[in-house]
Amino acid sequence: MPHFRALNAPTPYLFFTGKGGVGKTSLACATAVGLADRGLCVLLVSTDPASNLDEMLEVTLTDRPTPVPDVAGLSAMNINPESAAESYRTRVLEQLGPEVTAGERSTVREQLSGACTTEIAAFDEFVGLLDGDMAGFDHIIFDTAPTGHTLRLLSLPKAWTGFLKDNDRGASCLGPHSGLKMQEDRFRMALQALGDSKRTTIVLVTRADQGAIREAARTSGELDALDLSNQLLVVNGRFHAADRTDAVAVALEQDQDEALAAMPASLTKLPRDEIPLLGFDIVGLTALRALLSPSSQPPVAATMPSAEPVDLPGLGRLVDDIARDKHGLVMVMGKGGVGKTTIAAAIAVGLAKRGHAVHLSTTDPAAHVAFVVDGIIPRLTVDRIDTRDETKRYVAKILESRGRDLDEQGKALLLEDLASPCTEEVAVFHAFSHIVAEARSDFVVLDTAPTGHTLLLLDATGAYHRQMTSQLAPSGGGRIVTPLMRLRGKFEEPAGEDQGWSQQGTAEEERGAASQPLRAKAVG
């Protein structure tokens, strides 16, 4: 059996995180099965909206612990953001007294319909697991979303603890304060549990390639900044050539050796385990047990059957098809590790080389599009939605618009509300909206976050659309143009017309827009 500290010396809480496609779920599941096989009581939890624990364990899971057949002592669950949000809204509404009218209840529910409430509710479930809600388990293992969103999750205990410490009146994004299940002491206990090396290990999973190692180093640094230094580095899929006459196998081994030799000092200082590359798919209990136990590995055929050649059109044909529209939005989606960033960069470069102005950006917090493009290409702009920068811009804009007529006390209260961690989510959504709007005249290629979080972003787009159309529709001749309408392309913009309300919030930003409606394509 490979030496694997997470299995041989486990802490009560284990967090598996890393770049998409490095094997987080496989290792988390294998560890959970291995600990349960030793007679321990284990709960495996996925915080990834695109969870595939069901497929890995071959059992249908819900948002409550479900026993895994044929593994005594193991239960698993998915934290479902939508069901968590609905449960949270129900708890808040139950706190309202009988004197509250139906209209007031409807208003409260509407206030709790945004993406911020969804994040708070999912985080509440997460905090509960760290605060003893599942005290009957010896170990709780978290299979998390790819690193960018996991960093967001792990930063929330510290962020909310600081926010509630400095804010004794509640905040608008939290809903009615009396309805909160989440209390300051719960955040504090969660923060203490995360930073305690005797209770928690954060397992950074990587592969022996430059991209995954770079992402692991970035993640490690951000975790250190959160005072979460209790990290274990695991290099998954380590390859050693058994046949030294096989040139391809030897070259693959050398590539991995070179990537590991160039590993940043921030990673070399961490305790490190290596898991070998195996010749079978890690799905099902037999394969999961074999992952950490070489003696139980199924036999692998010495040769593989030859694949029949398939004649498929190349990526260039897709780029030609996209280019015919002259402008539009291309969103590249898919599971972590399938190659979204590579495809997005290739499409963007292809469009630029065909003479079009292209903006290549990303909604993934673990973005590395600039690294993939690696150079300056005429007519191509490459950037990313940076959470910190966008939050600063958003706060400045709100202060300028809403704080213009406030006195000093009013401005102080507004700043207090804007200090909420929810502001980051709103700021990112606004940045996304601005980028979507650019596609009215140019090409925008978006390298999105892994599927689950992209769907949450699009869901937020739909929620924003419903709120705008129901609440902010002007009574005059103006009209609303929301990001969802742009994605659907179901509107017309006569040249020179004052567009009224928009996702940017002002008519001035809409004036002078190209007359064509946005054309959106999804590539997955």
Residue 313, pLDDT > 70, answer yes
At 300, the pLDDT band (50, 70, 90 cuts) reads low
Separation CA 375–CA 364 (nearest Å): 20
How sure is the predictor about 492, in pLDDT bands with cuts at 50, 70 and 90? very low
Question: Quick check: is 88 in a domain?
Answer: no
433 and 514 in one domain? Answer: yes
- Model confidence at 42, in pLDDT bands (50, 70, 90)? very high
Q: Are 231 and 197 in contact (CB under 8 A)?
A: no
Within this chain, do residues 279 and 344 fall inside the same structural domain, yes or no? no
Residue type, 524: G
User: In the predicted model, what is the mean pLDDT of residues 46-74?
Assistant: 91
Question: What does the pLDDT average to over 389-396?
Answer: 86
pLDDT for the residue numbered 154: 62
Same domain? For 489 and 344 the reply is yes
State whether 141 and 184 are in the same domain: yes
Strand partners, 18: 205
The confidence band for 507, taking pLDDT boundaries of 50, 70 and 90, is: very low
Higher pLDDT, 203 or 122: 203
Residue 59 pLDDT > 60: yes
* Statement: residue 7 has pLDDT above 60: yes
Write down which residue in 261, 296, 331 finishes a domain.
296
Question: Does residue 221 form part of some domain?
Answer: yes
CATH number of the domain within which 185 lies = 3.40.50.300
Is 399 domain-assigned? yes
Q: Do the Cβ atoms of 484 and 465 come closer than 8 Å? A: yes
Residue that terminates a domain, selected from 238, 262, 296? 296
Q: What is the pLDDT of residue 372?
A: 75
Rounded to whole angstroms, the Cα distance separating 219 from 365 reads 11
Is it the case that residue 119 has pLDDT exceeding 50?
Answer: yes
Lookup: tokens for 59: 């059992």
At residue 510, the pLDDT reads 36
CATH number of the CATH domain containing 462: 3.40.50
The better pLDDT of the pair 266, 499 is held by 266
Higher pLDDT, 163 or 80: 80
Half-sphere exposure of 398 (CA within 13 A, CB side): 20
Segment 350-380, tens digit of pLDDT: 999 999 999 998 877 666 676 677 778 899 9
Residue 166 placed within a domain: yes
Residues 193 and 275 both lie in one domain: yes
Residue from 166, 199, 198 nearest 184 by CA: 166
What is the percentage of the chain residues whose pLDDT exceeds 70? 70
Domain assignment present for residue 94? The answer is no
Q: Are residues 151 and 217 in the same domain?
A: yes
Quick check: 324 and 347 in contact, CB under 8 A? no
244 in the same domain as 366: no
Euclidean distance between CA atoms 26 and 30, whole angstroms: 6
Residue 324 and residue 281 in one domain: no
Looking at the fold, whether 13 and 42 belong to one and the same domain comes out as yes
What pLDDT shows up at residue 228?
86
pLDDT at 500: 33
Range of the domain at 262: 5-79+137-172+180-296
116 belongs to a structural domain: no
Q: How far apart are CA 374 and CA 342, in angstroms?
A: 12
* Residue that wins the pLDDT comparison between 152 and 327: 327
CB count within 10 Å of CB 184 equals 13
What pLDDT sits at residue 442?
94
* pLDDT per residue as tens digits for the range 170-214: 444 444 333 444 456 676 777 788 889 999 999 999 999 988 898
What is the model's pLDDT at position 11?
A: 96
Phi-psi region of 175 (alpha: psi -120 to 50; beta: other; left: phi over 0): left
Could you tell me which of 335, 307, 293, 305 has the C-alpha nearest to residue 55? 335
Note the helical H segments in 314-362: 315-323, 340-353
Of residues 338 and 320, which shows the higher confidence score?
Answer: 320
Task: Inform me whether the pLDDT recorded for 62 exceeds 70.
Answer: yes
Domain end (from 245, 263, 296): 296
pLDDT of residue 315: 93
Please indicate, yes or no, if residue 257 is contained in any of the structural domains: yes
Output the average pLDDT for the chain: 77
- State whether 353 and 402 are in the same domain: yes
Residue 53: predicted pLDDT: 92
User: What are the pLDDT digits (tens) for 245-288?
Assistant: 999 999 999 999 999 999 999 999 999 999 999 888 889 999 99
pLDDT at 21: 84
Cβ–Cβ under 8 Å, residues 347 and 62? no
Long-range contacts of 197-200 (CB under 8 A, 24+ apart): 197/11, 197/229, 197/230, 198/11, 199/11, 199/12, 199/13, 200/11, 200/12, 200/13, 200/14, 200/15, 200/230
Residue 117 lies in a domain: no
Q: Are residues 363 and 505 in the same domain?
A: yes
Question: Which range, 125-129, 282-286, 489-493, has the best average confidence (pLDDT)?
Answer: 282-286
Q: How many structural domains are present in the chain?
A: 2
Are residues 325 and 225 both part of a single domain? no
Written as one letter, the residue type at 454 is: T
At residue 28, does pLDDT exceed 80? yes
pLDDT band at 421 (very low <50, low <70, confident <90, very high): low
Helical ranges in 233-281 per DSSP H: 247-261, 265-268
pLDDT at 92 over 60: yes
**Confidence class of residue 405 from pLDDT cuts 50, 70 and 90?**
confident
Closest to 145 in 3D by CA, of 51, 26, 7, 78: 51
Residue 494 has pLDDT above 60, yes or no: no
